[in-house]
Amino acid sequence: DVKVTQSSRYLVKRTGEKVFLECVQDMDHENMFWYRQDPGLGLRLIYFSYDVKMKEKGDIPEGYSVSREKKERFSLILESASTNQTSMYLCASSPPALDLWGFFGPGTRLTVL
Amino acid sequence: EDQVTQSPEALRLQEGESSSLNCSYTVSGLRGLFWYRQDPGKGPEFLFTLYSAGEEKEKERLKATLTKKESFLHITAPKPEDSATYLCAVQAKTGGFKTIFGAGTRLFVKA
């Protein structure tokens, strides 16, 4: 079974802190994604990566950065956390084919106080 | 602008009462349309990919269909364990791997 794991299920941080969210997948997938999910808004793409050291901005990249130094690991960084970044963060990985698109991790519920 | 709209926002059914969830989409050339199931506190779980109008896919009590503007997720004789949020998403031919999600339909099935 494909497994996508995220470093924390719940996280509470203070405004202005630097926050690291880590995601690891074990299926050798090229593509990895970070989304945030908010009630009524659905999933919105923050960043994605289609190869090691490659990254592309999604729809809402402001206030975030990413790092992909190894194929299996994709990190999301909040440079200076703000209260409007309180959300559920979901990581996903996918193979190139669309037949099985999107293996998601369990999510990290981040609260910024 | 590529867009996905799901309706209804919430649906309450009795066990065994069949119904359909709707996903309307606007995309500049569809590469694929996806359905996911999401249980509370968990990440979405992939269900289906549909590629072209007229295509249908089935899994247990679920059947997904696709037209040029909409997709339907038909639920036949639902059980309480089918209660979840169902998400629809599209990927455009010109958008790379960018996937656009709808807000979801929350399904409640009562025994």
Between CA A46 and CA A77 the distance in angstroms is 11
Tell me the pairing of strands B105-110 and B10-14: parallel
Q: Are A58 and A44 in contact (CB under 8 A)?
A: yes
Please tell me the distance in Å from B18's CA to the nearest CA on chain A: 25
> Coil, strand, or helix at residue A39?
coil
A102, B34: Cβ pair inside 8 Å? Answer: yes
Q: Which residues of chain B have pLDDT under 70?
A: none
Q: Which residues partner with A78 through β-bridges?
A: A19, A64
The number of C-alpha atoms within 13 Å of B72 and in the hemisphere containing its C-beta is 9
Name the residue in chain B with its Cα closest to that of A10.
B41
Q: Are A35 and A90 in contact (CB under 8 A)?
A: yes
- The secondary structure of chain B as a DSSP string is --EEEEE-SEEEEETT--EEEEEEEE-SSEEEEEEEEE-TTS--EEEEEE-STT-EEEETTEEEEE-SSEEEEEE-S--GGG-EEEEEEEEETTSTT-EEE---EEEEEE-
A98, B91: Cβ pair inside 8 Å? Answer: yes
Instruction: Please tell me which of the candidates B43, B46, B103 has its beta carbon nearest to residue A42.
Output: B103
Instruction: Please tell me which of the candidates A35, A59, A98 has its beta carbon nearest to residue B32.
Output: A98
Instruction: Please tell me which of the candidates B4, B46, B87 has its beta carbon nearest to residue A101.
Output: B46
pLDDT score recorded for residue B98? 82
Q: What is the pLDDT along chain A (113 residues), one digit of tens a residue?
A: 669 999 999 999 999 999 999 999 998 999 999 999 998 888 999 999 999 989 999 989 999 999 999 999 999 999 999 999 999 999 999 988 777 788 999 999 999 99
Q: Which residues of B touch A58 (CB under 8 A)?
A: 98
Spatial neighbors of A77 by CB under 8 A, at least 6 apart, are: A18, A19, A20, A21, A64, A65, A66, A67
Count of pairs with CB atoms under 8 A, one residue in A, one in B: 65
Q: Which two tokens stand for residue A70?
A: 């190894």
pLDDT score recorded for residue A1? 66
> Look-up: residue for tokens 């059914």?
B13
Name the residue in chain A with its Cα closest to that of B5.
A42
